[in-house]
Amino acid sequence: MKIKNINEINITEKRVLIRCDLNVPIQNGVIQSDARILASLPTIELALQKKAKVIVMSHLGRPKSESYEKKYSLFPVFEYIKKKIDYTKVYFTENYSKIDLINPGELLILENVRFNSGELKNDKILSKRYSKLCDIFVMDAFGAAHREQASTYGIGKFAKIACAGPLLISEIKMLKKALKNPKRPMVSIVGGSKVSTKFNVLNNLCDISDTVIVGGGIANTFLAIDYDVGKSLHEPEFILTAKKLRDNYNNIITPIDSRVGKNFSETEQSIIKSPSKIKKNEEIMDFGDKTIKKVVKIIEKAKTIIWNGPVGVFEFPNFRIGTEKIAKAVANNSNFSIAGGGDTLSVIDMFCIKDKISYISTGGGAFLEFIEGKKLPAIDMLEKNFSQQ
């Protein structure tokens, strides 16, 4: 893989457009998790210190139409960054033509790219417009690297120089470390609601892992092969697919007991049951104690850990214990661990274990597609741009 690195380029006094991933959860104008912003800041500050004219672009959420919606504005992110970078001028604009207002060593944050017509469709005209904003384009948004869109892919076709930022390079390096010649035993933990969206990921992880622990709705679909899972979240149409996967591999660990409830509610009390005892009016919402004990022992012996997704409804206190015990087992393992995915980041924040995970990926879909073995469009773009220079 040959791509340009920002550290190999003279960016002083150049217009440097950095595509970051500032897609953070915001409620009533308040940022709920700053993990992705903090991950992006070193690249932004590197460019500022080298006296570049720094422009930052990102998406936020999923606006229903390609037009302004206040709840998806990047303005709260701008205010947050302005406080963090208080040693220089930091501007914000919805008008992409105002980039010439900034001087070397100053920062301009652009409004949400998804308000721009043609962004999601990788529109050629919009991609060209983006490329004219800069002398150098820096792709540093690993979390959006799997999107073939104007700000992540199309711009690279027209930018004079397209390179990778330190965050993107670090993400690729760490994922390769986990996937290629990992120290063993290697344990993968895959939670989440749908086996259908993670089938290929599971396939690949089963190939390279010694053990794959499944949780959440994914585990429920596996349990539904042999049991009636009541009203638990699962995918009936993928039970046969799950069975084929289980039949092909003997290293998939599914729950031997579960915490169940009758109502999907924060105040619902949990009852521990074996899969064969679940009633039609009950739903699985967490691992049971026997399962927790079993998987924690496996995690404790692991030399490499890949973790994506909670194993239960961790937002509810009575159905949080499985996710908490697994999170803390990963954190207490001093060997190499890599975690990724939006909900995983929330779990890490909840249990204050950020400093105990070897590497925390900012990617969700990109994290999974990389694990699946797919070539990410943004990386493909950077390779093509490199070969054309």
Q: Which of 174-188, 194-208, 245-259 has the least mean pLDDT?
A: 194-208
User: Does the annotation count 194 as an active-site position?
Assistant: yes
Q: Within this chain, do residues 62 and 127 fall inside the same structural domain, yes or no?
A: yes
Q: Within this chain, do residues 14 and 154 fall inside the same structural domain, yes or no?
A: yes
Residue 1 lies in a domain: no
Q: How many CA atoms lie within 13 A of 212 on its CB side?
A: 24
Q: Are the C-beta atoms of residues 197 and 247 closer than 8 Å to each other? A: no
> For the segment 239-267, what is each residue's pLDDT rounded down to a tens digit?
999 999 999 999 999 999 999 999 999 99
Q: Within this chain, do residues 87 and 203 fall inside the same structural domain, yes or no?
A: no
Output the six-digit token pair for 387. Answer: 């070969």
Task: Specify the CATH number for the domain of residue 78.
Answer: 3.40.50.1260
Q: Which of 205-214, 227-236, 361-370 has the least mean pLDDT?
A: 361-370
Q: Are the C-beta atoms of residues 68 and 100 closer than 8 Å to each other? A: no
* 58 pLDDT higher than 70: yes
User: Does the annotation count 342 as an active-site position?
Assistant: yes
Q: Within this chain, do residues 160 and 292 fall inside the same structural domain, yes or no?
A: no
Q: Within this chain, do residues 206 and 115 fall inside the same structural domain, yes or no?
A: no
Q: Within this chain, do residues 155 and 198 fall inside the same structural domain, yes or no?
A: no
CA distance 28 to 232: 32
Residue 348 lies in a domain: no
Q: Verify cis geometry, omega within 30 degrees of 0, for the bond prior to 185.
A: yes
CA distance 51 to 14: 8
User: Does the annotation count 4 as an active-site position?
Assistant: no
Edge-to-edge order in the sheet of strand 336-339? 252-253, 211-214, 186-190, 304-308, 336-339, 359-360
Active-site residue, selected from the candidate residues 14, 36, 53, 320: 36
Q: pLDDT grade, residue 148 (50/70/90)?
A: very high
* 387 pLDDT higher than 80: no
Phi first, then psi: give them for residue 107, nearest 5 degrees. Answer: -125, 135
E strand or H helix at 178, and its extent?
helix 166-179
Q: Are the C-beta atoms of residues 53 and 104 closer than 8 Å to each other? A: yes
Mean pLDDT over each residue of the chain, to the nearest integer? 93
36 is in an annotated binding site: yes
Q: Which of 205-214, 248-257, 299-308, 372-381 has the least mean pLDDT?
A: 372-381
Residue-number span of the structural domain to which 277 is assigned: 184-334
Helices (H), 249-353: 289-300, 321-332, 342-350
Report, as an integer, the average pLDDT of 218-242: 95
Active-site residue, selected from the candidate residues 312, 340, 342, 364: 342
> For the segment 328-364, what is each residue's pLDDT rounded down to a tens digit?
999 999 999 999 876 898 899 899 999 999 999 988 8
| DSSP 3-state of 139 | strand
* 321 pLDDT higher than 80: yes
What is the reported pLDDT for 259? 98
120 is in an annotated binding site: no
* 20 pLDDT higher than 90: yes
User: Does the annotation count 363 as an active-site position?
Assistant: no
What is the reported pLDDT for 185? 97
60 is in an annotated binding site: yes
Q: Within this chain, do residues 161 and 197 fall inside the same structural domain, yes or no?
A: no
Q: pLDDT grade, residue 132 (50/70/90)?
A: very high
Q: Which of 12-21, 22-31, 97-106, 217-226 has the least mean pLDDT?
A: 97-106
Q: Within this chain, do residues 143 and 196 fall inside the same structural domain, yes or no?
A: no
Active-site residue, selected from the candidate residues 128, 328, 365, 374: 365
Q: Are the C-beta atoms of residues 190 and 166 closer than 8 Å to each other? A: no
What is the reported pLDDT for 90? 97
* 270 pLDDT higher than 70: yes
What is the reported pLDDT for 365? 83
CB atoms within 10 A of CB 281: 10
Q: Within this chain, do residues 161 and 240 fall inside the same structural domain, yes or no?
A: no
Residue 175 lies in a domain: no
Q: Are the C-beta atoms of residues 137 and 82 closer than 8 Å to each other? A: no
What is the reported pLDDT for 180? 86
Q: pLDDT grade, residue 102 (50/70/90)?
A: very high
Q: Within this chain, do residues 321 and 381 fall inside the same structural domain, yes or no?
A: no
Residue 354 lies in a domain: no
198 is in an annotated binding site: yes
Edge-to-edge order in the sheet of strand 161-164? 90-93, 107-110, 53-57, 15-19, 136-139, 161-164
Please count the residues of the chain: 389
Q: pLDDT grade, residue 389 (50/70/90)?
A: low
Task: Show Cβ contacts of residue 64 under 8 Å, excluding neighbours closer than 6 positions.
Answer: none
The alpha carbon of residue 150 and the mean position of all alpha carbons in its chain are separated, in whole angstroms, by: 20
48 is in an annotated binding site: no
Report, as an integer, the average pLDDT of 43-64: 96
Q: Within this chain, do residues 216 and 136 fall inside the same structural domain, yes or no?
A: no
* 195 pLDDT higher than 90: no
168 is in an annotated binding site: no
Helices (H), 71-165: 75-84, 124-131, 155-158
CA distance 85 to 63: 28
* 1 pLDDT higher than 70: no
What is the reported pLDDT for 341? 79
Q: Within this chain, do residues 224 and 326 fall inside the same structural domain, yes or no?
A: yes
184 is in an annotated binding site: no
Output the six-digit token pair for 105. Answer: 């060593």
Instruction: Look at the chain and report how many structural domains it folds into.
Output: 2
pTM, 2 dp: 0.84
21 is in an annotated binding site: yes
Active-site residue, selected from the candidate residues 51, 157, 177, 194: 194
